[in-house]
Structure 1
Amino acid sequence: MRELSSVIKSRKKQKMEKVEKVDEVVEPIDRISDLPEPIIHSILSFLRCPRDVARVSVWSKKWRSIWTSFFILDFDQKNFGDSGGYHDKKFINAVATRLEAMDCIQKFKISLCQPNLKLRTHMNRWIGAAIKKHVQELEIHVEAKSRNHYMLPDAGLSSRKLTSLRLYGCKFNNRMEIDLCNLKELSIKCSQVNADVIHSFIQSCPLIEDLRLVHCKKIGHLNISTLHKLRCLQLYECHGLVSVNIESLSLVSFIYCGKDPWECKVKVTGCDNLKDLTLKDPDLDEELFQELFVKYPNLEKLVLRECNRLKRLTILNSKLKELSVIRCRNLVEANIDAPNLSVLEYSGGRMPLSLTHIAGLHEAKLHICYRKNGAVILHELLDLLRRFENNGDWKLVVTSNKNITIHEELQEIQHLSSNELRIELIKSPMKVKGYVDNLLRMSKPKTLSLVSSSSSELLKFLKDKIMSRENNPKCCTYYSRKCWLHSIKDVTMAVFGRAEIGTSQSLEQTIFKFDWQS
């Protein structure tokens, strides 16, 4: 009996201890403050405005002090203005104060939308200060007229720490000395830069991996053969570019976009490892294309855009995965034999595509805009669509005249109409949902129609998202830009049965009619 009594007392004591522990107040754990400082800096780097960086400091006590040591500085003159204009004094003080407080800087970005002489003088000082504080990434964006480009100071071109230099709206002193031996990324946009300046960069920056020249003037002749680590090269509508000679075994991606009536001779040799090629060249014809294409046996992505001299196209490549042919207005025939092709995009006024292999495709985008021979073009398009019927579970999204129609069964498509059609063939159900979501956000259509079975998962998704929405959706509470759900004023839904839409299967058409807020 004594032993039983002691056991009962022991159990009562244990229960009392548990009750006391439940009544204790548990202090909340601040896990955000426990994050390492580099990770916090990485999180802060995704915020565009310094004001937002300061706001998130309320998340924890540690963040209130750590944001002042944030190594990424991004200042935009537009953030210091109101209806009365821009407040240059506040802008100057904000930049100077943050720069002075920093011992070292990872990235320094400065953007001017209304540059004046005073701001340009301060810009020179800020760039010099950032270089002295061992900045690794420097980005300068100056919106100026062509005759009033910002003259980059010599200090911005001499640093052994700088790895990335992005310039917009700048010009250069022809006698400048460049010392950027560790530079890996160079981007020059909407700037005045001649061949001598580019040559100086190439000779002084042997480690460049990414080179981009966009809307630049007065380059003339461009020769690239000594950048042995160059992986990505982009030349986009550079006025005055006469010739381009490229030789680089390391080159993986090359984008060249010319423009009528400019004539430029492009010569690319020794680029056996090229995998991504984009050409917008008004002088490219069948012969020139074949000469180029056979040189790149490892090509995985090819984009041909506005190559208007191209009439016939033949592609034989076992490694090609993505192909885009955009607005090549004289193209009448395109024979494509690419067994590993997974993504296809075509835009034009004809239907010239002949595909040997379809089984490997996962996505196909077709934008047809025609002025004549509409019946023939639509018949050819339907013939192409029928080839997809027996090659996987495809979904067809058709956009025309502010109306979107989704077909879940390709066999039931009898006809297509309209002189402009945007067609998307997608296999992945998740991609269909994402694509439709993006269409609703971008185009705000009058109607969205779905031809499907009544048990369709996509139908259930659309009903739940559209018809079950709240009057004041809370999905975008913390975002200034709201999603399309917030723009709906009213929406109605109608369902038509099999007989009404003329299908042989147990399909129905569900139509959502939108009234959008103005």
Structure 2
Amino acid sequence: MFAAQELNVLDLRELKLELPHDGIKFSSLRKLKLSRMFLDEHFIRALCASCICLEELTLHQCRGLASFQITGPKLRSVWLNQFFHEIKTLDTVAPNLENLHIAGNSRDLLEAIKISACKALKSLHLNCVGVTDEQDIFSSLSNLETLHLFHCNALKTMKMSSDRLECLVVRWCRNLIDVELDTPNLTIFSYTTHYDPQLPTLKLKASMLLKVQLGLYPAQSTWFDSHWYSKLLKFLGNFNQSKAIDLSCDSEKVIVIPKDMRKNLVPPLYGTDSLHIEFVCVKNQNYSVVDVLDSLLWIFPQLSTLSFSRCTKLSTLKFIYHGDAIDEDYEKICCASLLLKRRWRHNKLKEVQMENFEGAEKRKLRNYLSLMIISRILQQRRQRIRASSPKNTQHTHMAVLLRNPNNIRYIRDDLTFPNNCSL
């Protein structure tokens, strides 16, 4: 078998291979997959030396290797899956390698990897790999476009500067406390924390087209205190320019910011247009959807679309505003304050469309939204009166505004819902 010089593709499973006396002669082999095999370092070294045309290499659940080196002038893709405890170190020397996927297991981490020689690497996936701050493997990968880090618990800080990176996924890296990304072309950022409410300090420079995916799954609801919410708001503030955010959690307490904390804080995400939130196996099935919505609309004041996924049910709220052009008079008011200018659309809410809400939940939402729109209309009128009237006549104007039945009718007329959800 080892002398099949014309062989292009080879898939072997559940064998114990030994190096033949006359060597390996797979000179034409392009794809090789070895699954549940017992190997040794001499065999791997001879294999890499003889397969000069090898482009794809996959080792799946292989045993017998403590440390080894993978080489190949034409290697494009390497997949190393579910290694057992024998393997501790890996050295990859493949100048044309573009895709590297390494997945260990949670009990036996791969302690060290060397991939700095893979200058052409575009996609890197590390799962249960003992990457440390001292190794600094990311700085040498200038062509990296996609990076996935799962269960890399030895990693505490991460600093990257790259104009090539487009996708970064970080999940369950429990000890990661500091992330600094200078990645102007980053369009996908995904971060998930599980059983540990810690959020890293994040400094982010990314594309204006950035899409954000956040997963927050705490083990204990008692972790939600003022410290957690302060960290959460600071973390979310990095995504102010992100138009679309997907958020998943298993407790409504994750995202319900206490009202007493909101008084002295500025909502962090004025730039977000679309929010999708998924409740995964919610621990408290009797949570208040009004409390959740109230908090989300404070965090994301300018949403056009807000959707909820619960089990298999998808419910949606669509917010419609009085046009996007700022009228001239109000623009003069807003120009003195960037915050007021950002709040312009927030205060011009015209209509809310509700889809797939039922029963008591629908009634509670409808009452909450009606009061919210009326409040914003009154707030808008107050601002106009303050801008156009002397201080000593402002209170008189407001009293006339509230007493005038025509004005009250106008406020009610301004509040519109679709036919299937009328007041």
Structure 1 residue 286, shift from structure 2 partner: 1.4
AA paired with 1:217?
R
Aligned to 1:373: 223
SS at match of 2:32: strand
- The answer to whether the 8 A contact 1:316-1:337 is kept is yes
Aligned equivalents of 2:88, 2:142: Cα separation in 1: 28
Unaligned runs of 5+ in 2: 244-271, 322-351, 377-414
Which residue identity does 1:364 align to in structure 2? V
Distance in 2 (alpha carbons) for counterparts of 1:495 and 1:287: 54
Change (3 A) 1:509 1:329: farther
Which residue of 1 is the match for residue 276 of structure 2?
Answer: 397
Given the alignment of the two structures, is residue 215 of structure 1 paired with residue 61 of structure 2, yes or no? yes
Note closer, same or farther for the CA distance 1:399–1:209 as it changes in structure 2 (3 Å cut): same
Q: Give 1:166's match in structure 2, choosing from 11, 14, 17.
A: 11
1:453 maps to 2:319: yes
Counterpart amino acid of residue 368 in structure 2: E
Gap change, CA 1:202 and 1:368, over 3 Å in 2:
same
Match of 2:146 in 1: 301
Is the CA contact (8 Å cut-off) linking 1:304 and 1:324 kept in structure 2? Answer: yes
In the TM superposition, residue 276 of structure 1 has moved relative to its aligned partner by: 1.6
Q: 1:190 to 1:353 in 2, by over 3 A?
A: farther
Partner of 1:335: 180
**Which residue identity is paired with 2:278?**
T
Contact 2:317-2:353 at 8 Å conserved across structures: no
2:353 and 2:216 map into 1 onto residues whose CA distance is 27
Count of matched residue pairs: 302
- Aligned-residue Cα RMSD (Å) equals 4.1
Q: Is the Cα contact below 8 Å between 1:212 and 1:233 reproduced in 2?
A: yes
Question: Which position in structure 2 is the counterpart of 1:500?
Answer: 368
**2:217 alignment partner AA:** C
Pick aligned residue for 1:326 from 163, 171, 177: 171
Encode CA deviations 1:311-336: one digit per residue, 9 max, x unaligned: 22222222211111111111222222
1:232 aligns with 2:77: yes
What residue in structure 2 maps to residue 124 of structure 1?
none
Equivalent residue for 2:297? 413
Q: 1:325 to 1:359 in 2, by over 3 A?
A: same
Correspondent of 2:202 among 349, 354, 377: 354
| Structure of greater relative contact order (alpha carbons < 8 Å, 6+ residues apart) | 2
1:229: Cα distance to partner? 0.4
Partner of 1:51: none
Deviations 1:125-165 (A, max 9, x none): xxxxxxxxxxxxxxxxxxxxxxxxxxxxx3xx453443222
Aligned match of 1:267: 114
1:275 deviation in Å? 1.7
The amino acid of 2:73's aligned partner reads: H
1:195 Cα deviation from its structure 2 partner: 2.0
Query: Contact between 2:192 and 2:216, CA under 8 Å: does it hold in 1?
Result: yes
**Which one of 15, 25, 31 corresponds to residue 179 of structure 1?**
25
Q: What is the CA distance between 1:308 and its match in structure 2?
A: 1.2
Contact 1:251–1:274 (8 Å) recurs in 2: yes
Whether the 8 Å CA contact 1:194–1:219 is kept in 2: the answer is yes
Which amino acid in 2 is paired with 1:314?
Answer: K
Cα distance between partner residues in 1 of 2:241 and 2:49: 56
- In 2, the alpha carbon distance for the partners of 1:160 and 1:204 equals 10
Q: Does structure 2 retain, via aligned residues, the 8 Å contact 1:308–1:328?
A: yes
Matches within 5 A, 1:49-448: 154=1, 157-175=2-20, 178-225=24-71, 227-239=72-84, 240-259=86-105, 260-262=107-109, 264-288=111-135, 290=136, 292-348=137-193, 349-370=197-218, 371=220, 372-375=222-225, 376-385=227-236, 388=239, 391-392=242-243, 394-402=273-281, 413-414=297-298, 444-445=311-312, 447-448=313-314
Q: TM-score, normalised by structure 1?
A: 0.50
Unaligned 5+ runs, structure 1: 1-153, 417-425, 468-490, 512-518
Q: Is the 8 A contact 2:208 2:241 kept in 1?
A: no
After TM superposition, the score normalised by the length of structure 2 is 0.59
Quickly say closer, same or farther: Cα 1:444–1:254, change in 2 above 3 A: same
Which string of whole-angstrom CA distances, capped at 9 and with x for unpartnered residues, describes residues 410-429 of structure 1?
9952379xxxxxxxxx99x9
SS class of match (2:134): helix
Q: Which has the larger radius of gyration?
A: 1
> Taking structure 1 as reference, are residues 379 and 273 closer, same or farther at Cα in structure 2, changes over 3 Å only?
same
Name the CA distance, whole Å, in 2 between partners of 1:190 and 1:503.
61
Q: 2 CA distance for matches of 1:178 and 1:284?
A: 34
Once the two structures are superposed, what CA deviation does each residue of 1:21-67 show, in whole Å capped at 9, x if it has no partner? Answer: xxxxxxxxxxxxxxxxxxxxxxxxxxxxxxxxxxxxxxxxxxxxxxx
